[in-house]
């Protein structure tokens, strides 16, 4: 550790005194914290261009005054309780800002049952398999954190993604069309960098994800919200504009859970071709299909090179694995790479911003069939939870109307008019120790654009086990009726 000390040979104070003064000041002002190890005397004498004896005498002086202590064979350390030592509070940091809890969710008592949205069950994380794959990769002589490679990301990972997307999403893609990113949100940034200029029309779903419009507005976008109904984006409301960018969730609309029917998909495609627009399909959570077959991605019907697709592993492995991907028309690949460089330059790494080790392990996991097995296990568990949630709710509410049942990890309950509004119900449930959500949730925007939005209650079922779901719904029903 090199300390920022300056010794002036021409100053009236002796070198040793200057050194004691500067180090003790660093300690009393909190820059050198208790327990910190001071540099070795040889290293510090070289750094300052003074004799080693000067440093030894200074350290001795500091020790005599109690600022530091020498541990035999280990070095010199700042004392646990140095003279005048105080818990330093930076001047500029108001006390309130330092102690106030950040989020209101954290400050409220944690609910006993949380039907959390966008959540997954950590107990279903394939810890042992993952550990084994990580360890094997780390044993490799190639393992270090300086790997060079293709800026699009690991070639092997892009190859297995081609297979996976071909089989499960009906997409015919070449590995050269894939760019590895950290997350869907980073993919949104890449698309902003590539396609959004001041005045670009960006079509967003409303209600929809709240993290899209403010991002694109920073790039000067002109946001054009298009309403969604129970079949997804209402394509008849697509604006007449040229070179727009439509950000859509046809596989499973966020937050209403609709899968877009074929006729609307075709209309969206026609609109894109007619207006020279790009359609950006964002696939947040369509990995689990409980009823019928998954729909092919819209990219599968693209002949004009107008479609971009983004997916990630946040809902299947965990958001702590920072790996997602973009599938691009060939003419956008170079611009996407330039965008990832501006967003998270990592010279000379493969895949800007995505760790090499995790890419290698994920590839092994998919290639070995482990990911497929994991998806089946998740689907079974989530299907059981979804069914139990619906069955228990139906016991209490005969006229139950649930949306978004066919996939994903949350259901949308359109509540009967005899119950209070959703916001009121959310508050009553919270008072009973149960967290449920409304269309006013922080990652959802545009609730008001949906007629009767205050009748929709959102319940995530991924993070709760079956017995907890039953108990929670019973308690919820009591609190609402």
> Shortest Cβ distance from residue 279 to a copy of itself (Å)?
15
H helix runs in 345-465, sequence order: 356-367, 370-396, 422-431
Count other Cβ atoms within 10 Å, centred on residue 291: 9
Total of chain residues touching a copy of itself, rule CB under 8 A: 120
Candidate list 28, 52, 129, 150; residue touching a copy of itself; CB under 8 A: 150
Q: Report 322-361 residues binding a copy of itself (CB under 8 A).
A: 322, 329-331, 333, 337, 341-349, 353-358
If the CB atoms of residues 127 and 452 are measured against a copy of itself, the closer one turns out to be 127
Tell me how far, at minimum, the Cβ of 405 lies from a copy of itself, in Å.
Answer: 15
Closest CA to 36 of 89, 85, 107, 91: 85
Q: Could you say whether residue 294 binds a copy of itself (CB under 8 A)? A: yes
Residue closer to a copy of itself, measured from CB, 397 or 438: 438
Give the DSSP per-residue string, 294-317: PPPPGGGG-SSS-EEEEEESTTTT
Shortest distance, position 13 Cβ to a copy of itself, whole Å: 17
Cβ closest to a copy of itself, residue 396 vs residue 440: 440
- Asked if 185 touches a copy of itself (CB under 8 A), the answer is yes
Please give the structure tokens belonging to residue 319: 């958001």
Contact between 171 and 299 under an 8 Å Cβ cutoff? The reply is: yes
Cβ nearer to a copy of itself, comparing 183 with 425: 183
Among 21, 214, 261, 452, binds a copy of itself (CB under 8 A): 214
- Binding flag, residue 83, a copy of itself (CB under 8 A): no
Asked if 231 and 254 touch (Cβ cutoff 8 Å), the reply is no
Under a CB-based contact definition with an 8 Å cutoff, are residues 181 and 340 in contact?
A: yes
Please, which residue, 184 or 235, has the CB nearer to a copy of itself? 184
Give yes or no for residue 311 binding a copy of itself (CB under 8 A). Answer: no
3-state DSSP assignment of residue 264:
helix
Q: Give first-to-last CA distance, the chain, whole Å.
A: 64
CB of 396 to a copy of itself, least distance (A): 28
Q: How far apart are CA 406 and CA 259, in angstroms?
A: 8
Q: Is 94 in the site for a copy of itself (CB under 8 A)?
A: yes
Contact code string over 191-210 relative to a copy of itself, x by CB under 8 A = -xx----x------------
Minimal distance, residue 14 CB to a copy of itself, in Å: 18
List the x/- string, 263-292, binding to a copy of itself by CB under 8 A.
--------------------------x--x
Bond preceding residue 58 cis, omega within 30 of 0 = no
Contact 143, 137 (CB under 8 A): yes
Residue pair 365/133 in contact by the 8 Å Cβ criterion: yes
Among 55, 171, 247, 389, binds a copy of itself (CB under 8 A): 171
Our finding on whether 9 is near a copy of itself (CB under 8 A) is no
Q: Which residues contact 159 (CB under 8 A, 6 or more apart)?
A: 175
21 touching a copy of itself, by CB under 8 A: no
Q: From residue 435 to residue 454, what is the string marking binding to a copy of itself with x (rule CB under 8 A)?
A: --------x-----------
Which residues, other chains included, contact 283 with Cβ-Cβ below 8 Å and sequence gap of 6+? 169, 184, 249, 251, 252, 297, 309, 310, 311
> In this structure, are residues 271 and 277 in contact, taking their beta carbons and an 8 Å threshold?
yes
Q: CA 265, CA 297: separation in Å to the nearest integer?
A: 10
Q: Residue 209's closest CA among 261, 239, 253?
A: 253
Residue with Cβ nearer a copy of itself (326 or 393): 326
In the complex, minimum distance from the CB of residue 452 to a copy of itself, in angstroms, rounded to a whole number? 27
Say whether residue 168 binds a copy of itself (CB under 8 A): yes
**Residue 367, class by beta-carbon neighbours within 10 Å (0-12 exposed, 13-18 middle, 19+ buried)?**
middle
Half-sphere exposure of residue 290, counting CA atoms within 13 Å on the CB side? 21
3-state secondary structure of 380: helix
Q: From the list 41, 54, 147, 438, which residue makes contact with a copy of itself (rule: CB under 8 A)?
A: 147
Where in 363-402 is the site for a copy of itself (CB under 8 A)? Answer: 369, 372, 375-376, 379
Smaller CB distance to a copy of itself: residue 123 or 236?
Answer: 123
Per-residue x/- track, 25-44, a copy of itself (CB under 8 A): -x--xxxxx--xx-----x-
Check residue 157 for interaction with a copy of itself (CB under 8 A).
no
Site for a copy of itself in 104-133 (CB under 8 A): 116, 118-120, 122, 125, 127, 130-131
């Amino acid at each position: 550790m090199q300390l920022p000390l300056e010794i002036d040979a021409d100053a009236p104070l002796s070198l040793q005194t200057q050194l004691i003064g500067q180090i003790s000041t660093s300690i009393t002002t909190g820059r050198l914290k208790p327990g910190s190890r001071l540099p070795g005397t040889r290293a510090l004498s070289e750094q300052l261009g003074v004799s080693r004896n000067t440093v030894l005498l200074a350290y001795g002086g500091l020790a005599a005054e109690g600022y530091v202590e020498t541990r035999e064979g280990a070095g010199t350390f700042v004392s646990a309780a140095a003279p005048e030592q105080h818990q330093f509070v930076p001047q500029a940091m108001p006390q309130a800002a330092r102690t106030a809890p950040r989020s209101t969710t954290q400050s409220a008592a944690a609910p006993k049952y949380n039907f959390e949205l966008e959540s997954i069950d950590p107990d279903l994380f394939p810890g042992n398999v993952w550990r084994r794959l990580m360890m094997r990769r780390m044993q490799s002589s190639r393992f270090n954190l300086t790997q060079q490679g293709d800026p699009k990301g690991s070639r092997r990972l892009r190859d297995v993604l081609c297979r996976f997307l071909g089989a499960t999403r009906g997409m015919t893609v070449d590995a050269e069309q894939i760019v590895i990113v950290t997350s869907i949100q980073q993919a949104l940034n890449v698309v902003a960098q590539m396609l959004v200029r001041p005045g670009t029309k960006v079509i967003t779903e409303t209600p929809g994800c709240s993290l899209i419009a403010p991002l694109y507005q920073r790039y000067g976008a002109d946001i054009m919200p298009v309403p969604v109904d129970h079949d997804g984006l209402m394509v008849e409301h697509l604006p007449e504009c040229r070179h727009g960018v439509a950000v859509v969730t046809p596989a499973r609309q966020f937050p209403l859970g609709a899968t877009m029917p074929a006729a609307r998909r075709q209309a969206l495609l026609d609109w894109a071709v007619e207006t020279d627009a790009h359609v950006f399909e964002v696939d947040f959570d369509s990995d689990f299909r409980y009823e019928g077959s998954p729909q092919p991605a819209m990219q599968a019907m693209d002949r004009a090179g107008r479609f971009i697709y983004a997916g990630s592993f946040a809902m299947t492995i965990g958001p702590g694995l920072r790996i997602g991907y973009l599938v691009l028309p060939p003419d956008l690949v170079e611009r996407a790479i330039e965008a990832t460089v501006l967003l998270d330059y990592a010279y000379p790494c493969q895949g800007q911003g995505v760790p090499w080790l995790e890419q290698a392990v994920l590839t092994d996991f998919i290639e070995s069939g482990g990911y497929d097995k994991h998806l089946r296990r998740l689907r079974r568990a989530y299907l059981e939870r979804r069914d139990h949630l619906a069955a228990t709710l139906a016991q209490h509410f005969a006229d139950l109307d649930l949306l978004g049942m066919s996939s994903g990890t949350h259901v949308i309950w359109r509540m009967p008019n005899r119950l209070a509004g959703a916001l009121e119900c959310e508050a009553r449930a919270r008072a009973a120790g149960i967290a449920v959500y409304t269309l006013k949730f922080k990652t959802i925007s545009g609730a008001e654009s949906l007629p009767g939005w205050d009748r929709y209650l959102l319940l995530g079922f991924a993070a709760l086990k079956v017995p907890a779901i039953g108990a929670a719904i019973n308690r919820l029903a009591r609190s609402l009726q």
